[in-house]
Amino acid sequence: MYFYQPSDGHGLPHDPLNAIIGPRPIGWIASFDAQGNRNLAPYSFFNCFNYRPPIIGFASSGWKDSVRNIVETGEFVWNLTTFDLASAMNETSASLAPGEDEFVRAGLTPADSRIVHAPRVAESPVNFECRLSQCIQLTGADGTAIDTWLVLGEVVAVHIDESLLENGIYQTAKARPVLRAGGPSAYYSIDESQRFDLVRPDAR
């Protein structure tokens, strides 16, 4: 067994943590600032944390534009990254000056949301409109504050392209979601051939 203590470094060409916890869904977060300037950025530390109310969240290393915007306005939109949108998503990861529009850089169309004011990515087949529920600064086990911020939002509206619904059931593989993997450039998608089913056992 390869063993290391993270505080001493991992001793490998690339930190394996991201690859082990993966593949990870991408938090493609649209927001806007108090002046109405749009922002769109992907976050690889992202997931869903609660059913009712539905809560999703992403972590940002540093107080970046997305975090600042969401704290200022209390809103954001998560957009599903699909295989066809992977290059556009990657374009939005560029470090732009505050106020520069990633929608424009990536050739994407901002669409009005129904409940919140933050824009949706029109080309994305699934969007979650969210209201900020918590913004938490992470700490180490010793209580030392880290310059990483966990943003949690309650999903207040959901948009789904009806082509992804079959008999009312969302088809995960059909959407061809893009997932982040280990290494500086590794991503994955999924297809129906990788599906298997497990029925939850009855309680004893």
Write out pLDDT tens, residues 8-56: 999 988 888 877 887 899 999 999 999 999 999 999 999 999 999 999 9
pTM greater than 0.85 (yes/no): yes
Spatial CB neighbours of 106, under 8 Å, sequence gap ≥ 6: 40, 88, 89, 91, 92
Of all residues in the chain, the percent with pLDDT exceeding 70 is: 100
Query: Residue 123 above 80 pLDDT?
Result: yes
Residues 8 and 200: their CA atoms lie apart, in Å, by: 40
- Alpha-carbon 90 to chain mean position: 13
Q: What confidence tier does 145 reach under pLDDT thresholds 50, 70, 90?
A: very high
User: Is 55 in contact with 48 (CB distance < 8 Å)?
Assistant: yes
Residues found in the chain = 204
Residues 141 and 133: their CA atoms lie apart, in Å, by: 24
102 residue type, one letter: E
Look at residue 196 in the predicted model and tell me its pLDDT.
Answer: 93
Look at residue 111 in the predicted model and tell me its pLDDT.
Answer: 98
